[in-house]
Every structure is written in C-alpha cells, then in structure tokens.
Chains A and B, each alone.
Chain A
Amino acid sequence: MFDRSNRRQFLRGVGAAIALPALESLAVAKAPQSVALPGTTATGAPLRAAFITFPNGAIPKQWWPANTTGALELSPTLAPLAAIKHKVQVLGGLDHQNALPGNDGAGDHARGGAVLLTGARLNKSATDLRAGESIDQAIARRVGSQTRFPSLELTCDDVRKSGACDSGYSCAYQFNVSWRDASTPMTPEASPRAAFERLFGAGSHGERRDHFTRRQAEQRSLLDFVRDDARAFQKQLSSGDRVKLDQYLTSVRDIERRIAATEKFGQSPDPKSETPTGEPGSDRNRIELMFEVLALAFETDSTRVATLMLAHDGSNRTFGDLGLTAGHHDLTHHQNREDWIANVAQIDQWYVERFAWFLQRLDQARDLDGRTLLDNSMIVYASGNADANRHSHENLPVILAGGGGGTLRPGRFVQHGAKPMTNLFLKMAETMGGKELRRLGDSTGVLADV
C-alpha cells in the first residue's frame, strides 16, 4: 500500500538539511584549477550527467516551441518548465537513424529503447542480443572512479508483460536503455527503497553507515572466492557459454572497484530523510521518489552518471489522475482524432511536469562552488520515438537541462538540422572530460552550439 506520509517525509526531509561530508572533503582536495579533472567543473565542483527517458515520443505540434530558433518560448507541453526555463534548452533536429526500420521492419518501440542511448543498430532477435555501449556507460568508464558509484541505473517500470515483446525483438531491448557492452544490459533498479539503501545503507538515519559498511564487508568477503570459482568454471565451458561467465566476471570486477571507491571516499553519506517506501503505489509517486533518490545521489556526490527510465518505450500506462482511462501507447495511435491527440499531449505534459519538479529540486540545492546542482549538471530528457503515431525517429523530442558547470548555453531553442543524437552525447562526454570518446553508435562528430 502506498504510504503517503512516508513519501511526504522522504520528499520533504531533504535539500538544505542534508549533510555532505563527501562533498566537503572533496572541496579541499579539489581547489579550483585551470584544467578540470574529468567529471569536474572548472571551479572544482562535480559535474554530472543524467539521462531521463520518457516513452512514446510527444505530439510534435504541442511539444515544439512556436519560434524556429532563439530564446526559448515554451510550448504547451513544455509549459511546466516555466519556472526553470532559463536553465533549459530545447534541441531540434536530432535523429536516431538506427532506430528507423532499415532492413529490420517493425519494432520501433524495441529500437526506441535500446537505440536511444547507444545509437547502435540492434540485432533483430528474440535471443541474440547485440546493441552497443550506451553513453552513460561510456562516460562512467571515464569518470566513474571519482565517486562511490560509477553510475546509477533506475527505472519506474516495475512490472513486465508476458508473451513476446515488440515484433521479434527480445524484451531486453525495450526495457534497458543502459548497456555496458553490446550484449550486456545494465539492469535498472525499480524499487526506490532498494535504490536508496544501495546508495546509503538500510535502516533509519544514524544506522545507515553501519549497515552500509557491513553489507559491503559481506560482499567483499565473497568476491575472492566467486572470482576464482568463476574463472575455473569458465575454463570448462564452451565458447558460447564463456560469454555468460564474462558477464559474471565483469560484474565481480565492477563490485570490487566500487567497494574500493567507497572505501577511498571514507564514510558513506547518510541523508536525514526517511528511507522511501518500496511500494510507492501510484506511478506518480514512484517517479517522484526515484527522482528524489537520483537528486540525493547527485547531492551527496555518490555518482555523477545516471539513467532513469520513466517508462519503457511502448508503455501502455494509464493516467487516472488525468482522468484518462485508455493506455498511453494505445492513445498514441490516435488516427488523427482530436480528442486522442489532446489526451496524448496531456500525458506528454504530465511527464514534463515530473521532470520540471526534479530540475527545480536540483536548482534548490547548493553545490560546493556556490552554484546550484542544476548549474553543474547536464540532464537529458528524451524519448526514443519522435511522433509515436508514425513511429518516427527523426527530430526527436530532446531537452538538455542544466549549465554543464558553465559550459552550456541554456534558455534557448536550437535547431540542429538532422544531426545524429549521438553527436550530442559526444559533446556531453567531451564536457565531462571524456574527449577521447570519438565515436558512439552512428555519431559523426561533436555537436556544436549547445
């Protein structure tokens, strides 16, 4: 059951009240310097990148600003961003050519998922997974060692449908936007409680550090054994099966690295807020709690890279609080019926409203250089479909929020004119200090004028 008071306390008990030991010690270590470290702003504060994905595109007419380019004028769908408009830029003309059918036929929602952050052409198969490394993982590989967690993967989808997924694609494509490598999706966490406890430890405020340390010690005590065991086991297997053990061994190494990192950064932070509930009840609550966990992770500098799926592409979620009884995906195939189009636009705006709440939350938190967390972040808000009625993947709805530590020029609407979405990702990698990332999926260069 949804516990309203728990949610309110969790959402209220944060912000200014939070203790930031990790950040404060960091500030001493990283005084302003001329050449920023990877994942760091010029003023020495942490620089963060997050990728928030929403399902089923957006009704173009209501999404795009009325002006063609220039200072941002908010469209009806983007209206909830009003209070934070000067810290947001809307990007037009970004495409995912590899999400178009090509020779692969139908399956636009599967591609809308796994292509979104990889830009890769997916292998159309129910079993043989081949996508590509996603941008969050590419950035995490470069800056992940500077925080307790190299990256966070979160989702607000907590149930799966049985039966085949989209048109011959494995469900793994549709439900994972973050990919460690071509065949390894980074399973996202769906429980706000589990996500919070993984970051800060179980129990109430004051007990969490002990729990966190104990859990970590227990994990570490097993790693030597399972690594040796997995290596010995792998030698007995055929080559096809070795891939599976590679995934296992890579995961072992990731956990080892993460444990080493958390130890390096000393005591884990312990937010004053209550632990969020594991069963948020409504989708709205789940989304807000997940956003709050993500904000806390950034605020405590527990990680600098994250993905959050508000829902998988093709989601057929219903919106009782909008008075809508039909499912989102069903509605997007609107047959040009005006009432359906209006309903979808309402849903699009509903998602933007949640996102706006998150941005304001980040903008109220002070970073150690005196700027806001939002100023020192790059938050992408995007969908893998442009117009879901047509299953198009060109001119995708994309927002880039935050100041990127003073490197971005928000408050604008910029038409980029048919550039790969991955060019934006290269720009973000570059800003994060990952200049050597030269290619991602179908990228052709680093996006200019951002």
Chain B
Amino acid sequence: MPSIAHVSAAVVLVVFIAPALAEPVHFSEQVAPLLEQHCFDCHVHGSAEGGVKLDDAAELATSEGDGKIDPQLWWRVLRQVRAGLMPPEGDKLSAKSQATLEEWIKGEAFGYDPARPDPGRVTIRRLNRFEYQNTIRDLVGVDFPTDENFPPDDTGHGFDTLGEVLTVSPLLLEKYLDAATKIIADAVPTGPLAADAPERERQRHDRFFPRAVPDSPAERTAYAAEILSNFTRRAFRRPPDSETLDRLVGLAELTWTTPGATFESGVAKAIVATLASPRFLFREEQTEPADENQYPLVDQYALATRLSYFLWSTMPDDELFQEAAAGTLRSNLLGQLARMLADKRSGELTRNFVGQWLQVRDIDTVLINSFTIAMRDDPASAELQERRQRLRQLFRREPETLTPAEREELDQFRKERRAAEEKFAKFDLTWEVRHAMRRETELHFDYVLRENRPLTELIDCDYSFLNEGLAKFYQIEGIEGLDGNEMRRVTMPAGSHRGGVLTHGAVLAVTSNPDRTSPVKRGLFVLENILGTPPAAPPPNIPPLEDFPEAADGKVISLRDSMAAHRSDPLCHSCHARMDPIGLALDNFSALGIWRDKDRGEPIDPTGELATGEKFAGIDELKKLIVERHSREFITCLTEKMLTYALGRGLDYHDVGMVDEIVERVVADEYRPRALITGIVESAAFQRTRN
C-alpha cells in the first residue's frame, strides 16, 4: 500500500492517546500559551471563524479565574481538534500539546471527575414498538404485530430508544387500549377449563390460573391478588405497590361480580388494564434506597430492565428477576452479561442497534429503481433511456391520433424495452435479495459479537455472509457450496473488494439515490457513523449551482467532475472535501451494491485523500486506512452510538470522559466487542442516575 505510507509529515495522527497526567493542568502556564499560539488569531476579539469564539478562554488567560467557560463550546473545540481538523494544516498541535489541551478541557471546562462521573439524566422511556412486541411475546405468549398496529416511533440521534422523543398522543393511547384488549382476548381464558379440554388449552389456562378457582368470595379475592401480583411483577418489571395491586384486584372483582361473569373474565380485565397502564408502557426506575449519593445507583430491578432492553429489546427473564429480587444482580453482573450475550435474544441488539446505526433496517423499504440503475451502467441502454421522455409523450396521446411512423416508433421502443427488461431481470432488488442484504450485515455483527472478534473486522476483513442468491446478485464468482437460501460465512475471493460493512449491499443501497449512487450521501454516512466526525450541517441559503458545467459537446460530465465543480465553491469546500473523496472511493459499487468499473461508460476514479492527509487508491486502501490509522475514531464513534442506544438519551459533554474510558478498555483489549459492552454496562451512566 504505497499510498498509505505516503502520509505527509505534517499530519498529526489523531490516534494519539491522551495519557492521564499526574498533576492537574495549569491553565495560564500550560494551556493559555497553546491557545494563544494556535487558536486566538482566528477565534477571539471579534474574529470568530466558523462561529467559534474563544473569548472566554482569552479572558481567563489574562485574569485567571474570572472567565466563565462554556462547556458546549469547548466540546466543539475538542471534537475539531480530535478529528485533526483544527488547528489548520501547518499549525498543528504536537501530540503532547494536544494531550495537555484535552486534559484541561475535560477536567476544567467539563468538570469531569473520574472518581464521581456525572451519569446524566434519562427521561422515562416508553417502550418503542419493537420492544412492545417482544415484551408482549415474553409476557403473555402472543405475537402482536406492532408494525401493522402502531404508528412508527419518532427518533432522535438516529435511534428509537430515546425517552424524550418517545411521546404519547391520544391516537397512540387509543391503540394501546385496543391492543391490550385484543392481546388479552387471545392470551387469557375467560372461563373455567372444560374437563375434556385439549392439552394446549390446558396449558393456556394454567399459565394464568394454576389452581382451581375457590368458592368463597374472600378466597377468590386472595387468589386474584396472588395471580395479579405475580403478573404485574413481570409486567411492571418490579413488584407492584400495594395500592396499585388493590386497584387491579378491585377492577377484577367489579368485573366478576357482575351477573353472569366469571372469575377468569375479571382477572383478564385486570390484566388488560395492566397492559394499558403507564407502569407497563413506561420503564419506571428507582434508586437503591440506601444510596444518598448525588449520583445514586439505580436499584437492581431497574438495572435488570436496563440490561434486558439494551441486549434483548425485551423485559427481563426469570433469572434476571430472581437476581434482582435477591439483590445479587450487581455482584454477578459479568456472569449475567455473558449469559445474556450467549442467549439468542441478543440477536435483537443486532437487529435494532445495527439496524439503525448502519441503517440496514431501511433496506426493506428503500426506494430503488433497479432497472434504471442497471441501464445507466450499460452503454447500449443509455440511448434507450434518453428516448424515454419522447416516448412517454407518445404513450400519453390517444392511440388514434398517432401517425403510422409514430406508432412504429412506439412499437419498436416497446420491443427494445422488453428485451432490456429481460436482460436486466437479474438486477431486480427483490424482497429476497433485500432480506439477504440485511442479514449479511446483521450476521457479520453477530459473528463478531459472539466470537468476540476485533470490532475492526466490521470495517476490513476477508469474509462475508452470503447465500446463493446474494452471491449471484453481487455477481461474485468462484464461491463453492453456497445454499439457495441459507446465509453462511464465506471467505471472499481475492480481488472481490468485499468484506466489511462498507461493502455490504444494504449499506451501499440505503446511502444511494433511487436511481444512482450518491458519493455525498455515502461520504456523509462514513463520517457520521464510522469515523464519528460529522461535517457541520450545510449552510443555510445554499446558493444554487447556477453554472453547472454542461460539456459543450454534449458529452456526459462525470460525477467526479461535477462534484469537483461543487467543491470549488469555498462555502462548500470545507465539508465536501471531507465527504466526497470517501464517497467516490465507494463509487465502484453501484446503487445496488454491485461492483462496476465504469459509470455511464466513463471509468470510475476512486482515488482520493482523507481530511487528515492520507491518500488512498480505492475502497481496499480506504478500509485499511480506517483500520490502521483511524481505529480509535471508529471505536469512539461506535461507543457513542451504542451508548446513546443503550442509555436512551443523547450524549453530552459530561459523557466525554466516560466514553474515553470505555474506548481505552476496548483498545487495550484488542478491540473486542465484549470489552465495549462490558464497558457500557459498567459505566456510571448505565449504573447510576442523577438524584
């Protein structure tokens, strides 16, 4: 890889690890000179390039202790510095200076205390529709299709687990009431078991009514209380308080004492009410009663619930409940973690976390015009495409108004189109192909997680997960023994350029436009979700590209050239210079995720360089670059995404220190996913809450 070795000497590698300094950083002696030398020219006293104004630090530098430090601003500074974007080329910080600056920002600007980190505050979380479906299945054994019955949940930071964004509207509550009624009608018997009931019916009955119904009213009430106490302990994910239980028993009693009603129907009614209760729909959390700390530990039921929804997207199972009840969960955390990850329910972490992080969930529905894309890259069909507009006009006219010549033109076109359709049928992004694409990414993550392989294999490796249909769709030859449907791990043939999520069909398709690739979308995807250095949002009032370069001779302008024209605008340059090269390196994969050497007949040029200066010749080298030079950024990005998903809140500046510590663990443990998940679960944010 000659181009990787060709890194310019001026580049400061941002993989540098800030060492823990023994002494607190002294601002006026250590930090102020750095800022003065590298930052203040452009960022104080009226000059605030990029909207960053460091006047607070400048004041601090002149009159120690008086300046008020804005942590949000310094969080931005930290991200820019870590990404290697600031200070600009030619004025880079030395590794030692950067460590000093980072230490000061974290300690002083953020007030981070590693001994007592701020766990942040999570707004009470409503179950999203995936969690609801899983929970109902585990709680009462009914598979209720929430995608058909509930509206999609709103999201923030790309995830549907965020407490603040999971709102309740009248429509949704109505749907919850209806769902509870319907689910319990399926799950809970409303009358006594017939003597000759089949085994299935008996099991269904015994699940809720393990004993015969007693005769005396007092015993009945006691029996109902026993059933409902057991049920609500699981439904509310903690023992119910006596008041709530009394109300439920009261509702059951009210129902079964109406003429003609059964005991069972009364209990069923109370169970319906349980599922409509906010204590079921929201995840209540309490703290350890003895913990007077400013940041107390959440109690063991809350911990069990945090664990089960993080790893399984469902309620705790019996074993977790037992540990919570016995108060032994926290001391046996690692044992439980290992058990939970080995359990097949951990596939939900892949489905829901990876499905949203890498957006592969969207492959099921993404709008892709396979036919147009396939024709676009086939020179013989390009002309057919161009004639479409003209022919559409003919199509729209009444047949009798067409001249014979026009009619013949139309017939000819139809024939050609049919032939083209047959020729391109193999490009059809069918439901089966979409499904296989999603599974490819899911299985890869699952494999890395279960085998505890280095997380960097998600970016670069020599294997993938395919079935015969997907291998054919990708047009990969030379793989033996593939099954028609079953996905299996295969070593990719040399020169396939495959391996790693960036080369997965699902990722490539969901980051494309419906009819062609979008290097901008793909570049943005990598910056946001792999490298964790999202560019600033585009400026408002973007000037339209008035002078779009149309070649005079009518020749097709290559995507690369048109994008270069775009980047030449200084307003666009700083971000597009980061996004576009990465996207162009992936342009050898069509919008369908199929390898190609040409775009509309023109050779694709996938060479480029990163904002940090390293050059690459194409996707193979880009993957290597990320793994060899930017693995820390990748792990940091993944940690931030997974923490957001796990905690159910957006991250803030006070989380930076915690994220750094988790990343440190992962790097020290050779990028093992277990280190990441253990790090998250053991973090203050996962274990504690703000009082």
Q: Provided the pairs A165-B155, A325-B515 are in contact, do residues A229 and B541 lie with their beta carbons within 8 angstroms?
A: no
Please pick, from B154, B172, B178, the residue contacting A172 in the complex, using a CB distance under 8 A: B154
Q: Is B540 an interface residue (CB 8 A)?
A: yes
Question: Is A326's CB under 8 angstroms from B538's CB?
Answer: no
**Would you list which residues of chain A between 235 and 258 have a CB under 8 Å from chain B?**
236-237, 240-241, 243-245, 247-248, 250-252, 254-255, 258
Please pick, from B148, B180, B548, B650, the residue contacting A127 in the complex, using a CB distance under 8 A: B650
12 contacts between A and B (CB under 8 A): A106-B537, A153-B171, A163-B359, A170-B165, A176-B154, A184-B167, A184-B168, A219-B178, A226-B273, A226-B278, A252-B173, A390-B544
Question: Is B126's CB under 8 angstroms from A244's CB?
Answer: yes
Closest chain-B Cβ to A101's Cβ sits at a distance in Å of 3
- Bitwise interface map of B from 246 to 290 toward A, beta carbon under 8 Å scored 1, else 0: 011001000000000000000001001100111101101000000
Please pick, from A171, A191, A228, A229, the residue contacting B154 in the complex, using a CB distance under 8 A: A171
Q: Of all chain B residues, which has the CB nearest A166?
A: B537
Complex alpha-carbon distance, A107 and B541, angstroms: 11
Report B-chain residues with C-beta under 8 Å of the C-beta of A230: 277-278
Q: Of all chain B residues, which has the CB nearest A232?
A: B243
Question: Is A221's CB under 8 angstroms from B269's CB?
Answer: yes
Please pick, from B121, B148, B158, B244, the residue contacting A163 in the complex, using a CB distance under 8 A: B158
Q: Of all chain B residues, which has the CB nearest A184?
A: B167
Report B-chain residues with C-beta under 8 Å of the C-beta of A167: 537-538
Please pick, from B167, B513, B514, the residue contacting A129 in the complex, using a CB distance under 8 A: B167
Q: Is B152 an interface residue (CB 8 A)?
A: yes
The interface stretch among A315-323, A362-370, A414-422 is A315-323
Question: Is A323's CB under 8 angstroms from B392's CB?
Answer: yes
Complex alpha-carbon distance, A153 and B168, angstroms: 14
Question: Is B649's CB under 8 angstroms from A127's CB?
Answer: yes
Q: Provided the pairs A218-B177, A225-B273 are in contact, do residues A172 and B165 lie with their beta carbons within 8 angstroms?
A: yes
Question: Is B392's CB under 8 angstroms from A229's CB?
Answer: no
Closest chain-B Cβ to A159's Cβ sits at a distance in Å of 4
- Bitwise interface map of A from 333 to 359 toward B, beta carbon under 8 Å scored 1, else 0: 111110100000000000000000000
Q: Is A233 an interface residue (CB 8 A)?
A: yes
Complex alpha-carbon distance, A84 and B154, angstroms: 38
Question: Is B541's CB under 8 angstroms from A101's CB?
Answer: yes
Interface residues of B, CB < 8 Å — how many?
A: 78
Which of B168, B181, B544 has the most C-beta atoms of chain A within 10 angstroms of its own C-beta?
B168
Q: Is B497 an interface residue (CB 8 A)?
A: no
**Would you list which residues of chain B between 542 and 577 have a CB under 8 Å from chain A?**
542, 544-546, 548
- Bitwise interface map of A from 169 to 196 toward B, beta carbon under 8 Å scored 1, else 0: 0111001100010011111111100100
Question: Is A255's CB under 8 angstroms from B174's CB?
Answer: yes
Report B-chain residues with C-beta under 8 Å of the C-beta of A163: 158, 356, 359, 362, 525, 528-529
Question: Is A226's CB under 8 angstroms from B169's CB?
Answer: no
- Bitwise interface map of B from 149 to 191 toward A, beta carbon under 8 Å scored 1, else 0: 1011011111000111101111111100110110000000000
Question: Is A278's CB under 8 angstroms from B148's CB?
Answer: yes
B residues contacting A by CB (< 8 A) are 121, 123-124, 126, 148-149, 151-152, 154-158, 162-165, 167-174, 177-178, 180-181, 243-244, 247-248, 251, 269, 272-273, 276-279, 281-282, 284, 355-356, 359, 361-362, 365, 367, 369, 372, 388-389, 392, 510, 513-516, 518, 525, 528-529, 536-542, 544-546, 548, 649-650
Complex alpha-carbon distance, A87 and B356, angstroms: 46
- Bitwise interface map of A from 404 to 422 toward B, beta carbon under 8 Å scored 1, else 0: 0000000000000000000
Report A-chain residues with C-beta under 8 Å of the C-beta of B247: 225, 228-229
Complex alpha-carbon distance, A349 and B417, angstroms: 27
Q: Provided the pairs A222-B276, A251-B168 are in contact, do residues A229 and B244 lie with their beta carbons within 8 angstroms?
A: yes
**Would you list which residues of chain A between 189 and 221 have a CB under 8 Å from chain B?**
189-191, 194, 198, 215, 218-219, 221
Q: Provided the pairs A187-B151, A233-B279, A251-B169 are in contact, do residues A327 and B367 lie with their beta carbons within 8 angstroms?
A: yes
- Bitwise interface map of A from 70 to 111 toward B, beta carbon under 8 Å scored 1, else 0: 000000000000000000000000000000110001111000
Further 12 A-B residue pairs, CB within 8 A, beyond A129-B165, A251-B170, A323-B392 = A127-B164, A162-B355, A163-B529, A170-B165, A188-B171, A230-B277, A244-B124, A251-B168, A255-B173, A258-B170, A316-B514, A325-B514
Q: Of all chain B residues, which has the CB nearest A221?
A: B269
Which of A127, A171, A255, A334 has the most C-beta atoms of chain B within 10 angstroms of its own C-beta?
A127
A residues contacting B by CB (< 8 A) are 100-101, 105-108, 125-129, 153, 159-165, 167-168, 170-172, 175-176, 180, 183-191, 194, 198, 215, 218-219, 221-222, 225-226, 228-230, 232-233, 236-237, 240-241, 243-245, 247-248, 250-252, 254-255, 258, 278, 316-318, 320, 323, 325-327, 330, 333-337, 339, 389-391
Question: Is A164's CB under 8 angstroms from B514's CB?
Answer: no
Complex alpha-carbon distance, A18 and B372, angstroms: 45
Question: Is B174's CB under 8 angstroms from A247's CB?
Answer: no
Complex alpha-carbon distance, A218 and B85, angstroms: 60
Question: Is A107's CB under 8 angstroms from B359's CB?
Answer: no
Question: Is A390's CB under 8 angstroms from B541's CB?
Answer: yes
Report A-chain residues with C-beta under 8 Å of the C-beta of B157: 126-127, 164
Complex alpha-carbon distance, A190 and B167, angstroms: 17
Q: Provided the pairs A251-B170, A391-B542 are in contact, do residues A336 and B548 lie with their beta carbons within 8 angstroms?
A: yes
Report A-chain residues with C-beta under 8 Å of the C-beta of B392: 323
Q: Of all chain A residues, which has the CB nearest B371?
A: A325
Report A-chain residues with C-beta under 8 Å of the C-beta of B544: 333-336, 389-390
Closest 4 CB pairs of A and B: A101-B540, A106-B537, A126-B156, A172-B154
Question: Is A127's CB under 8 angstroms from B178's CB?
Answer: no
Complex alpha-carbon distance, A335 and B365, angstroms: 28
Complex alpha-carbon distance, A188 and B365, angstroms: 20
Q: Of all chain A residues, which has the CB nearest B525?
A: A163
Complex alpha-carbon distance, A163 and B155, angstroms: 8
Report A-chain residues with C-beta under 8 Å of the C-beta of B178: 215, 218-219
Q: Of all chain B residues, which has the CB nearest A330?
A: B513
Q: Of all chain B residues, which has the CB nearest A327?
A: B514
Please pick, from A228, A317, A335, the residue contacting B367 in the complex, using a CB distance under 8 A: A317
Q: Provided the pairs A126-B650, A229-B277, A244-B282 are in contact, do residues A323 and B388 lie with their beta carbons within 8 angstroms?
A: yes
Question: Is A170's CB under 8 angstroms from B167's CB?
Answer: no
Question: Is A186's CB under 8 angstroms from B514's CB?
Answer: no
Which of B151, B178, B244 has the most C-beta atoms of chain A within 10 angstroms of its own C-beta?
B151
Report B-chain residues with C-beta under 8 Å of the C-beta of A335: 544-545, 548
Question: Is A186's CB under 8 angstroms from B279's CB?
Answer: no
Complex alpha-carbon distance, A255 and B177, angstroms: 10
Closest chain-A Cβ to B691's Cβ sits at a distance in Å of 9
Complex alpha-carbon distance, A233 and B274, angstroms: 13
Q: Provided the pairs A251-B170, A327-B514 are in contact, do residues A190 and B151 lie with their beta carbons within 8 angstroms?
A: yes
Closest chain-A Cβ to B659's Cβ sits at a distance in Å of 17
